[in-house]
Structure 1
């Protein structure tokens, strides 16, 4: 695998410590391979919309909608991309969208961007939670057609 050359590297981030470590490793791999780096953050859809929402015994005012969430994350990732470019990696793309992180990272983005290597942080969920909720990392490992590097 030492002679393996990657052209399109994807890293999925969610703000967790392990996803940020995965980002660091993906940047280094992209530099070594002179590859394009795609940074993706997939936000799960809000359960409620802007306005008044009844939850349990009361009413909650919700003031953040999906469009606001997208704008905020796009701005944050624009800063990350600028920092990476300052470190000498020119081919960096960011993707921020609302959707299913598993499907987007393991299939949709992988196909659209012709990804041949994915970096993803290891799951923080315990074994019991994984049985009930599943894990994005495990899903990507099982369904990706690209090589996958899991970062702890």
Structure 2
């Protein structure tokens, strides 16, 4: 019997990888006649040496623009039952447990790579954390650029 996913969460940060995840999430949600939740997290875990209020305002504006584009994409592709979420907190815990618990999510979809290469080097990627700690199934979507280095190394 094939697993049905009815409440799907996709995390977006504007990276190519997260936008590929959105495309996959729309496809799976439509196939399962489910509800899609698109989330963008404003990371509050780092220390900022400048005007935090100004940074948060800019980050919120960019996040809202991204979420509007993502929502427009879902509508263009025939998916109307969409929840749009902008959250402040740790992307790791928000994606792996906080939002899935609150929204009763049964599948998390995210890109293999986000925008922050420095964080990935020093403390691991958000996707690595979510895979290990999520309270539900996780699907990691790779882009061509994620796959190419592996092909070149073979």
State the TM-score, normalizing by the size of structure 2.
Answer: 0.79
Q: Are 1:79 and 2:69 counterparts?
A: yes
SS at match of 1:120: strand
Q: Are 1:151 and 2:141 counterparts?
A: yes
Cα displacement (A) at 1:130: 4.9
Cα displacement (A) at 1:73: 1.4
Match in the other structure for 2:152: none
Where structure 1 has 5 or more consecutive residues not aligned to the other structure, the ranges are: 51-61
Cα displacement (A) at 1:65: 2.6
Shift >6 Å, 4+ stretches: none
Larger radius of gyration: 1
Counterpart Cα distance in 1 of 2:67 and 2:114: 22
Match in the other structure for 1:17: 16
**Matched-pair contact (CA < 8 Å) for 1:70–1:98:** no
**Matched-pair contact (CA < 8 Å) for 2:22–2:70:** no
Mapping 1:1-152, distance limit 5 Å:
3-45=2-44, 47-50=48-51, 64-123=54-113, 130=120, 132-152=122-142
Where structure 2 has 5 or more consecutive residues not aligned to the other structure, the ranges are: 143-154
**Matched-pair contact (CA < 8 Å) for 2:10–2:37:** yes
Question: Is the strand fraction higher in 1 or 2?
Answer: 1
Moved more, 37-46 or 95-104: 37-46
Count of residue correspondences: 138
Structure 1 vs Structure 2 CA RMSD:
2.4
Cα displacement (A) at 1:75: 3.1
Cα deviation per residue 1:32-67 (whole Å; 9 max; x = unaligned)?
0011101111122361443xxxxxxxxxxx883313
**Matched-pair contact (CA < 8 Å) for 2:14–2:66:** no
Question: Is the helix fraction higher in 1 or 2?
Answer: 2
Moved more, 67-76 or 95-104: 67-76
State the TM-score, normalizing by the size of structure 1.
Answer: 0.80
SS at match of 2:4: coil
